[in-house]
Homo-oligomer: A and B are copies of this chain.
Amino acid sequence: MTGSETRWLDAEQQGQWRAYIVGTTLLMDTLDRELRQAHGISMAEYEILVRLSETPDRTLRMAKIAESMQHSRSRVTHTVTRMEKSGLIRRAAAEDDKRGVDAVMTDKGWQLLQEAAHTHVAGVRAHFVDLASPDDFAAMGQVMNAVSDQLVAENPTFEDIR
């Protein structure tokens, strides 16, 4: 592929990388299951509700949702369709752009979010935030922001690929 030699990871880096992967699967699965069992929604659905709740009119364009979560447009379409079926969201035509579709949180969606937020935040704390020092989390935040920046920058047309 490239001309340069592959620089392998040393044992420590391998361990850190593996800890990251395994810990992440465990963490995400746990939080997802907690939300499903307590409130019948997935973490992806929860995250969408959160983003909608942060706007003044509880409304977001499909593309904005996809972008902010780094999900594919297709995925957002499917997820929103499911949420529409269960009455958490409804679709509306966008004002300005006739191609556009707004996802609008319903009252039911708002209600559910109020309840689910307790469960979720408790989980995030118990399984993640409360497990290490603020400094360690700051470092983690640094790293993950760098990851996003690098990947988005490296790939200007990222939406097309995902």
Contacts and interface: CB of A to CB of B under 8 A. Distances in A.
Contact of A129 (B13, B118, B142): B13
Interface string A47-84: 10000000000000000000011110000000000000
Interface residues of A, number: 62
Contact of A147 (B17, B128, B144): B128
A2 interface: yes
A147 B69 contact: no
13 contacts: A1-B38, A9-B125, A9-B129, A16-B138, A17-B128, A19-B141, A22-B148, A23-B148, A26-B151, A131-B143, A132-B139, A136-B139, A136-B142
Interface of A: 1-2, 6-9, 12-13, 15-17, 19-30, 33, 38, 47, 68-71, 117-119, 121-122, 124-129, 131-132, 135-148, 150-152, 161-162
